[in-house]
Amino acid sequence: MKLKTLLTSTALALGVANAAAAQDPTQACFVYVGPIGDGGWTYQHHQGALAVKEAYGDKVEIQWQENVPEGADSERVMTQMALSGCDIVFATSFGYMDPINNVAAKFPDVKFEHATGYKRMHPNVTTYNSRFYEGRAVVGHIAGRMTETNKIGYIASFPIPEVVMGINSYYHHAAKVNPDVELVVTWVYTWFDPAKEADAARAMLDQGVDVITAHTDSTAPLAEIAKEGGKAIGFGQASDMAAFAYNDDGTPGPRVASIIDDWSPYYVKRVGQLMDGSYEQTDSWGGMPEGEVVIGEMTDAIPADVQAEAQGMIDAITAGEYHPFTGPMSNQAGEQFLAEGETIEDGPLLGMNFYIEGITAEIPQ
Amino acid sequence: MDLSTFNWLPLLAALMVASTPILLAGIGELVVEKAGVLNLGVEGMMITGAVCGFAMAIATESAVIGFVSAAVGGAVLSLLFGVLTQVLLSNQVATGLALTLFGLGLSAVLGQNYIGVKGIEISAVNLGPLADIPFLGPVLFQHDGMVYVSLLMVVAVWYFLNRTRAGLVLRAVGESHDAAHALGYKVVRIRLAAIAFGGACAGLGGAYLSLIRVPQWTEGMTAGAGWLALALVVFASWKPGRVLIGAYLFGGLTVLQLNLQAAGVKVPVELLSMSPYVITILVLVLISSGRRGRQTAAPASLGRAFHATT
C-alpha cells in the first residue's frame, strides 16, 4: 500500500513537473468503433472531437482511431494511446467497458472516459451517456399525430435497456395523442448493416407502416422510405441526415425531423476541466437540458400545429419541467409501475427490460 | 396474429431484390473456384465495386456506366490478387483475406466525398403486358434490369461450364492443373481470366447494393455480404443452379423474418438470422460425410498454387 502510494505520488509529481516544464498541449484521444464516415454514431463523436480542437486551439491536440474492434484489440489501442502521451482517452462504444478499466489500472495519471458504460473500477474512469429517450418522445409524438395507417415502426438493433426504453418512449408518446396507433418493432440484430436496415424498412412499409424511426446507425432506412414518394416518413438518427430533408425539387423529403447526438458540449466541458484542474470522476447522463440531445430541423412535411406541439415538448424537457417517463404508466401485464405524476428514477430506467401497456409484441430473449 | 392479413406479394418481390447482390457475387466466385482458385476477397471486391459504381453513376447520371465501372473496379482489384497468387505464387487464403482488408480501406478513401450524397433514380424495366399479369407481374416482372441480368448470368455460367469447350478446359484446370498444363493449356492465363470475371461479378453485386438496394454510399456497407457469397458457393456444392436456389433461400430467409416481424408474427429472430450459416455448415458436413467424399464436390486443385516446371 505504501509502495503504491509512493509510486502514485511520484507519478503525480512527475506529471506536475512535466506540465510545469513545458506548456505541452493537452492530448485528447478518441477510440471509435466504426468509421467516421458512417454518417451516424461515430461521425457525431468525431464532430465532438473536432469541437474540442476548435474550442481550445493550440492548447489541445486531438488523436483518434477508427474501426477499433471491441475487446482485446481496443485494450492494445488504448494502452498505445496512454503510452504516446494522451492525457484523456474517450472510448465511444459499450463494448470497451472492461478493456478501458484494465488499461486505466495501469495508467493512474491518465483520465479515461467510457461512453454508455457503467463500470468505474478505478478513480480515473468516468462514464457518460445521453438521454436518447427524450428525443424518442418527441418523434413519437410526431409519429402519433402524422400516421394515416395508424401503424408506426421502430427498427431495433439489440434487445438491451437503451433500445427498450427508446421503444417505450416512442410508443408512449404516440399512443398519448393517438390511442389507435399500433407499434411494429423489427429487430435486425446489428448496429450497422445498410442492406438489412433497408430491408427492414421495406418489410414494414409493405405491411402498411407509414412512420419509421430507426435505432441503427445508417441512413439506409430513409433511402428506402424515399422510394414511397411521400406516402411514408422517417427521422434522422444519431446524426441530422439532412440530405433526406428535401427532395431535389424542393419538396419535403422522407426525413421530417431528427434526433441528433451532440457530444460536443460534454467533450469541450471535460477537456476544459482537465486543463483548469477542476476535473473529477463523474457518471454523466446528459440530455436536452445539457444540449447533448438535439432535435434537428422539422420540415414543412409536419403540419404547423404538430410542430408547435413538438417544440412545446422540447422546451418542457429542456427546462426540466417534463420527464418522458411520467406516470401513470403500466407494463404489458397492466401493472402500474409509475403512479399519476410520478417520474421514473434513473436506476430502473437504465435496467428497463419490459414493454409498456399497449405494445403487443414481445421482447426477444 | 393470423397470416390471412399477411401481405405475401411484396415479400416475394423483395426476396428477388434482397438476393441479387449475393447471387451476382456467388456466381462469379463459383467460376473462380471452378478454375481452382480460392479468392476469399469477395467482400473487398464487392465494396470496391459499390463505391466505384456509385461514384461513376453520380458523375455521369447513368446507371449503366455505374455498373460497368463497378465491374471494371472489381476486376482490377481481383487482378491484383491474381498477379500475387498466380504469378508470384503467394498463399491464396492469406492474399484473399488481405484483399478484403485492402478493399475495405480503399473504398473508404475513394468514397469520402460521397457520404450522405443521394443516389440516382433507377426505375424498373418496362416489360409491357408481362408486368400486368395478376400475381406473377408484381413478383417477377416489375424489377430493375440487374435482377434479370443476374438470372441470365446464372444461365450463361451454367451453359459455359457444362456445354462449351472453353468451360470444359476451365474445369480441367480446376481439377488438375498439372494435367491441363501437360495438354498445353495456359493454366495461369485461364485462371487470371476466371479471377477477373469473379471480380467483375462481385463488383456488380456491390454496385447493386449502393445503386439500387440501399441507394447510397456508406463505408462498410456490404457488411458481410461477401462472406455470405462464399458460403453460398459451398452450399451450392459448386453448381450454378444451386447458387440461384441458395441465394434466394438466404436472401429469402432475411426478408421473410423481417416481414413476419413487421406483420407482428412471433418468430425466433436470432435463429432465422443465423440460419444461412447453419445451413451452409450442415451442407458442408453432408458433402464431406457422403459416400463419395468431398473430392467430387470441390474442384480437386482448389486453393493449390501452380508452378509450371517444364
Integer Cα distance of B146 and B267 in angstroms:
31
Integer Cα distance of B246 and B235 in angstroms:
7
Q: Which of A357-361, B119-123, B204-208, B210-214 has the lowest mean pLDDT?
A: B119-123
Same domain, A87 and A158: no
Percent of chain A at pLDDT > 70 equals 94
- Nearest CB neighbour to A219, from listed B108, B213, B216: B216
Q: Is the pLDDT of residue B152 over 50?
A: yes
Number of domains chain A is built from: 2
**B263 vs A contacts (CB less than 8 Å):** 207
Would residue B301 count as lying in a domain?
no
For residues A337 and A330, is the Cβ–Cβ distance under 8 A? yes
Same domain, A95 and A143: no
pLDDT category at A14 given cuts 50, 70, 90 is very low
- Rounded to the nearest integer, the mean pLDDT of chain B is 88
B182 in contact with A, Cβ within 8 Å? no
Same domain, A75 and A181: no
C-alpha cell at A335: 401493472
Q: How many Cα atoms within 13 Å fall on the side-chain side of residue B152?
A: 5
Q: Is the pLDDT of residue A24 over 90?
A: no
Nearest Cα of chain B lies from the Cα of A13 at a distance, in angstroms, of 43
**Domain CATH code at residue B83:** 1.10.3470
Nearest Cα of chain B lies from the Cα of A325 at a distance, in angstroms, of 25
Would residue B83 count as lying in a domain?
yes
Would residue A155 count as lying in a domain?
yes
Check residue B3 and give its pLDDT.
Answer: 60
**B215 vs A contacts (CB less than 8 Å):** 223
Put simply, the answer to whether A195 touches B261 (Cβ < 8 Å) is no
Would residue A277 count as lying in a domain?
no
For residues B179 and B18, is the Cβ–Cβ distance under 8 A? no
Put simply, the answer to whether B112 touches A220 (Cβ < 8 Å) is no
Check residue A4 and give its pLDDT.
Answer: 52
pLDDT category at B4 given cuts 50, 70, 90 is low
What pTM did the predictor assign?
A: 0.82
Integer Cα distance of B9 and A351 in angstroms:
40
| B278-290 confidence digits (pLDDT tens) | 887 887 777 777 6
Would residue B303 count as lying in a domain?
no
Would residue A205 count as lying in a domain?
yes
Same domain, A117 and A176: no
Number of domains chain B is built from: 1
pLDDT category at A191 given cuts 50, 70, 90 is confident
Same domain, A120 and A214: no
Q: Is the pLDDT of residue A17 over 60?
A: no
Same domain, A233 and A336: yes
Q: Is the pLDDT of residue A16 over 70?
A: no
Among residues A82, A111, A130, which one ends one of the domains?
Answer: A130
Q: Which of A112-121, A324-333, B262-271 has the lowest mean pLDDT?
A: B262-271
Check residue B260 and give its pLDDT.
Answer: 84
Q: What is the DSSP letter of B36?
A: T
Region A300-322 average pLDDT: 95
- Mark residue B115 as left, alpha or beta (left: phi above 0; alpha: psi -120 to 50; beta: remaining): beta
Residues in CB range of B148: below 8 A, 6 or more apart: B125
- Nearest CB neighbour to B218, from listed A184, A189, A194: A194
Integer Cα distance of A127 and A273 in angstroms:
15
Put simply, the answer to whether A194 touches B219 (Cβ < 8 Å) is no
Region A200-211 average pLDDT: 92
**B262 vs A contacts (CB less than 8 Å):** 153, 184, 186, 200, 203-204, 206-207, 209
Check residue A22 and give its pLDDT.
Answer: 46
Same domain, A56 and A137: no
Identify whether A328 is preceded by a cis peptide bond (ω within 30 of 0). Answer: yes
B4 in contact with A, Cβ within 8 Å? no
User: Which is more confident, B261 or B200?
Assistant: B200
- Nearest CB neighbour to A207, from listed B111, B262, B269: B262
Check residue A13 and give its pLDDT.
Answer: 46
Strand A255-261 to A293-296 pairing: antiparallel
B18 in contact with A, Cβ within 8 Å? yes
Would residue A289 count as lying in a domain?
no
C-alpha cell at A288: 436536452
Same domain, A325 and A182: yes
**B214 vs A contacts (CB less than 8 Å):** 194-195, 198, 220, 223-224
Domain that holds residue A346: 132-261+294-350
Check residue B38 and give its pLDDT.
Answer: 95
For residues B88 and B79, is the Cβ–Cβ distance under 8 A? no
Put simply, the answer to whether B262 touches A190 (Cβ < 8 Å) is no
| A123-159 confidence digits (pLDDT tens) | 999 999 999 999 999 999 999 999 999 999 999 988 8
Q: Which of A323-327, B205-209, B270-274 has the lowest mean pLDDT?
A: B270-274
3-state secondary structure at position A356: strand
Percent of chain A at pLDDT > 90 equals 71
CA angle centred on B199, ends B110 and B222, rounded to 5°: 55
| B24-55 confidence digits (pLDDT tens) | 999 999 999 999 999 999 999 999 999 999 99
Would residue A314 count as lying in a domain?
yes
Would residue A323 count as lying in a domain?
yes
- Rounded to the nearest integer, the mean pLDDT of chain A is 89
Check residue A1 and give its pLDDT.
Answer: 42
Same domain, A123 and A170: no
Strand A255-261 to A329-330 pairing: unpaired
Would residue A285 count as lying in a domain?
no
Nearest Cα of chain B lies from the Cα of A114 at a distance, in angstroms, of 24
Instruction: Identify the contact set of chain A against chain B, taking CB-CB distances under 8 A.
Output: 34-35, 37-39, 153, 184-190, 192-196, 198-200, 202-204, 206-209, 218-220, 223-224, 226, 241, 243-244, 248, 360-362, 364
**Domain CATH code at residue A44:** 3.40.50.2300
Among residues A130, A151, A177, which one ends one of the domains?
Answer: A130
**B216 vs A contacts (CB less than 8 Å):** 194, 219-220, 223
Among residues A107, A130, A153, which one ends one of the domains?
Answer: A130
Put simply, the answer to whether A203 touches B269 (Cβ < 8 Å) is no
Same domain, A150 and A119: no
Would residue A280 count as lying in a domain?
no
Dihedral, CA atoms, B47, B48, B50, B52, nearest 10 degrees?
Answer: 170
3-state secondary structure at position A365: coil
**A219 vs B contacts (CB less than 8 Å):** 116, 216, 218
Check residue B261 and give its pLDDT.
Answer: 84
Q: Is the pLDDT of residue B297 over 90?
A: no
Same domain, A237 and A331: yes
Q: What is the DSSP letter of B156?
A: H
Domain that holds residue B194: 3-289
The angle that helices A194-206 and B240-262 make with each other, rounded to 10 degrees, is: 60
Would residue B150 count as lying in a domain?
yes
Same domain, A148 and A104: no
